[in-house]
Amino acid sequence: MNTSRSFDQAADNYDKTRPLPGVTADLGIQALLDAAGPGTRILEVGAGTGRISIPLLERGADLIGCDLSAKMLRRQREKYPSARLAQADAALLPFPSDHFDALITVHVLHLIGPWREALREFKRVLKTGGVHLNVRTYESVGTSIRGNMRDHWRGWLESQGVSTNHPGAQNGEAVWTELGTLGAHLKEVEVVRFPHTYTLRDELERYASRVFSDTWSVEESLYQSSLEDLRTWTLRVYGDLDKKHADTSRFVFDAAHFES
């Protein structure tokens, strides 16, 4: 049984809920091209609707995208008809060994149930000297109110006996450790920091619309109770829901080079 999380149900609104800020669309995409190297053959695993792969293609990248979700890939095809795409399981890639110079993943390893097997597949399809670029496009720097809200929401559900853990890698440290056992040489590359402005009402509405994948498996009546608790807690701790807040986020990626 495939334990990875498909984004079929998010295909129609994914682009609206996870935009790529302009500063990262420029500096971040170019940094990925630079890290992959000129004239390289690239695979993006978890390419989805093309949030990252289309900007890369528009800049001339030789790129193939794959994803577990056929609906997400269909949306990418509608936006960029010439994209080369394959529906595929990250832990069983339909590509030959020693084929790609670079492989990109963006916010996906936490969604892949057999993520360790997937990392081995990544190494298999990469050429000797190839690089796996694992990207976080909007990682918070320091403490954020959004992060505190997420922690409270998860804590409340856990108090009701419901786990919101993702099916895949639970943290970056686990991924780094596993890549190290595969012989990868690892380096973190921070490209840019940028402000993320929002209101608490905006964030509560994002929970209500269930745009986060860890909300999808929670039973409806319990989910509504969790929303009521989150709203009450947010008002008590932070007050005005319409006040503007700004967190610092960063576009960053881990570069794992496989030299053998």
Domains with residue ranges and CATH for the chain: 8-143+166-197+248-258 (3.40.50.150)
Task: Give Cβ neighbours of residue 5 (< 8 Å, ≥ 6 apart).
Answer: 111, 113, 166, 167, 168, 213, 216
Record the pTM: 0.93
Q: What is the pLDDT of residues 53-88, one digit of tens each?
A: 999 999 999 999 999 999 999 999 999 999 999 999
Instruction: Tell me what percent of the chain is helix, strand and coil, each rounded to the nearest 5.
Output: 40, 25, 30
Residues 182 and 132 sit within 8 Å (Cβ to Cβ): no
pLDDT in tens, the chain (260 residues): 567 777 888 777 777 777 787 888 899 999 999 999 999 999 999 999 999 999 999 999 999 999 999 999 999 999 999 999 999 999 999 999 999 999 999 999 999 999 999 999 999 999 999 999 999 998 999 889 999 999 999 999 999 999 999 889 999 999 999 999 999 999 999 999 999 899 999 999 999 999 889 999 999 999 999 999 999 999 999 999 999 999 999 999 999 999 88
CA distances from 119 to 33, 63, 126, 213 (A): 21, 19, 11, 22
Residue 242: exposure state from Cβ atoms within 10 A (0-12, 13-18, ≥19): exposed
User: Any idea what DSSP says for residue 83?
Assistant: -
